[in-house]
């Protein structure tokens, strides 16, 4: 351990063995696609085996009850009203359904921030363009306090014109916990509904839905909730439920919310049905223990890698809460665009056997490191040892004519 570094957390015994990750690689990016514990993978495979043993029985006898049971379980886990919740495939789907339910018209706008996630911003722009409306992203400085942030958004709302505000509960490129409850309260005063993009919240925050009270909330279970990929929960306030249209119209169209959202004809429902095994795994490890471990490990990783890159520890961004992701500014001139960020990420993965996120945000490059129960302090220490030389080589290569 380096002098001055925060203390890394004690490992959770045996937790690493729950995952089937390649041991030759340091997986420091749980935030992008998660990692599904072996027990959850097995549960999903058992459901697929059951389907293949008798597809008729699987699809026509009790499937809707099993989906309802899963929805209720996940809603309770997140502190959501189960009657207002619908299973969807991912956060981008949930956001798209909300955008389509607004009945956008020419002249309307949907407000987002520059911390928003790329696919959700693209979906926003697409749905706005189709309706003759505008998607507008407000710049929020990284160093803004919670109070300043709420004021920036309050000032940006145009009552009567802003039809939706989309804010992230935990931002992706900047790994920040946003004061969503206060933002929702401010927007409510202006009569503007809010969609909280909570892709990272399930498993990371204790009761992320109940704490916020948004009109719409969507969270991925397949990141920090250990569910199979393709599992997310969309939570909708009572007045909006009848207005949410499904991705496709199918057999349950007349059944109303949430069945008509969830019933998507012949598709693979096994990810949803296996998702409670993910939350069970988290509970078995100890929810608070996992959260504290992951947030502390990410803080440790940020410190060792950040200081190795010459960043003043005081200048390392703080997420403002128990967030298991931390960002580090990269030297100027590196990863300032999406393609440069991807190129650098691939080089780090290829040469250092280390998976990280590299994002271009506000005109510069940022490294994002995550902490998860399968990570160890020495994985960040190894990255800290080797990254400065790789970045120097990368700078001279990309600077060459």
What is the contact surface with ligand PLP in residues (CB under 6 A)?
32, 90-92, 117, 119-120, 168, 172, 197, 199-200, 220
In sequence order, the β-bridge partners of residue 259 are: none
Query: What's the min distance (Å) between Cβ of 196 and ligand PLP?
Result: 10
Determine the residue with CB nearest ligand PLP: 90
Query: What's the min distance (Å) between Cβ of 121 and ligand PLP?
Result: 9
Residue 91 or 165: which CB sits closer to ligand PLP?
A: 91
Strands (E), 85-133: 85-88, 109-113
Query: What's the min distance (Å) between Cβ of 172 and ligand PLP?
Result: 3
Residue 9 or 319: which CB sits closer to ligand PLP?
A: 319
Strand order in the sheet with 85-88: 85-88, 232-236, 216-220, 194-197, 162-168, 109-113, 134-138
Query: What's the min distance (Å) between Cβ of 116 and ligand PLP?
Result: 7
Phi, psi torsion values for 218, nearest 5 degrees: -135, 130
Query: What's the min distance (Å) between Cβ of 236 and ligand PLP?
Result: 17
Residue 89 or 109: which CB sits closer to ligand PLP?
A: 89
Residue 51 or 119: which CB sits closer to ligand PLP?
A: 119
Residue 162 or 171: which CB sits closer to ligand PLP?
A: 171
Euclidean distance between CA atoms 363 and 354, whole angstroms: 24
Distances (CA, A) of 341 to 296, 353, 384, 388, 394: 26, 17, 18, 16, 12
Residue 109 or 168: which CB sits closer to ligand PLP?
A: 168
* Nearest CA among 236, 186, 190 for reference residue 214: 236
Contact 270, 230 (CB under 8 A): no
Contact 244, 261 (CB under 8 A): yes
Distances (CA, A) of 285 to 14, 203, 256, 320: 10, 12, 37, 25
Determine the length of the chain.
401
Which structure tokens are listed for 377? 């302090």
* Nearest CA among 290, 280, 221, 240 for reference residue 78: 221
DSSP 292-305: HHHHHHHHHHHHHH
Residue 95 or 299: which CB sits closer to ligand PLP?
A: 95
Angle, alpha carbons 340-344-345 (nearest 5°): 115
Query: What's the min distance (Å) between Cβ of 3 and ligand PLP?
Result: 34
DSSP letter, residue 315: G
Residue 326 or 394: which CB sits closer to ligand PLP?
A: 326
Query: What's the min distance (Å) between Cβ of 217 and ligand PLP?
Result: 12
Query: What's the min distance (Å) between Cβ of 200 and ligand PLP?
Result: 6
Which structure tokens are listed for 98? 């909300």
Query: What's the min distance (Å) between Cβ of 222 and ligand PLP?
Result: 7
Residue 200 or 394: which CB sits closer to ligand PLP?
A: 200
Which structure tokens are listed for 225? 């909730």
């Amino acid at each position: 351990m380096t002098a001055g570094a925060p203390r890394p957390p004690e490992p959770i015994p045996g937790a690493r063995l729950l995952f089937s990750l390649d041991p030759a690689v340091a997986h420091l990016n749980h935030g992008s696609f998660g990692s599904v514990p072996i027990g959850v993978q097995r549960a999903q495979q058992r459901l697929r085996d059951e389907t293949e043993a008798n597809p008729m029985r699987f699809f026509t006898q009790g499937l809707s009850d099993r989906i309802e049971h899963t929805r209720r379980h996940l809603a309770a886990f997140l502190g959501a009203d189960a009657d207002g919740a619908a299973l969807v495939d991912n956060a981008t789907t949930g956001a798209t359904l909300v955008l389509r339910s607004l009945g956008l018209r020419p002249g309307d706008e949907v407000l987002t921030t520059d911390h928003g996630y790329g696919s959700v911003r693209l979906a926003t722009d697409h749905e706005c363009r189709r309706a003759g409306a505008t998607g507008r992203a407000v710049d929020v400085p990284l160093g803004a306090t919670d109070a300043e942030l709420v004021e920036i958004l309050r000032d940006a709302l145009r009552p009567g014109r802003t039809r939706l505000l989309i804010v992230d509960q935990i931002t992706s490129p900047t790994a920040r916990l946003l004061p969503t409850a206060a933002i929702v309260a401010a927007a409510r005063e202006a009569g503007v509904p809010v969609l909280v993009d909570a892709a990272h919240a399930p498993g990371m925050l204790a009761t992320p839905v109940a704490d916020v009270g948004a009109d719409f909330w969507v969270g991925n279970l397949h990141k920090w909730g250990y569910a199979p990929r393709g599992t997310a929960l969309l939570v909708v306030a009572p007045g909006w439920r009848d207005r949410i249209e499904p991705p496709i119209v199918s057999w349950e169209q007349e059944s109303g919310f949430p069945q008509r959202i969830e019933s998507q004809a012949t598709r693979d429902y096994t990810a949803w049905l296996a998702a409670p095994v993910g939350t069970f795994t988290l509970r078995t490890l100890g929810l608070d223990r996992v959260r504290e471990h992951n947030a502390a490990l990410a803080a440790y990783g940020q410190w060792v890698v950040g200081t190795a890159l010459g960043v003043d520890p005081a200048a390392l961004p703080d997420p403002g809460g128990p967030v298991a992701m931390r960002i580090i500014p990269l030297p100027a001139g590196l990863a300032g665009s999406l393609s440069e960020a991807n190129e650098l990420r691939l080089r780090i993965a290829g040469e250092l056997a280390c998976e990280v996120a590299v994002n271009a945000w506000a005109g510069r490059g940022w490294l994002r490191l995550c902490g998860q129960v399968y990570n160890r302090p020495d994985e960040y220490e190894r990255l800290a040892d080797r990254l400065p030389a790789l970045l120097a080589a990368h700078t001279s290569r990309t600077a060459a004519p």
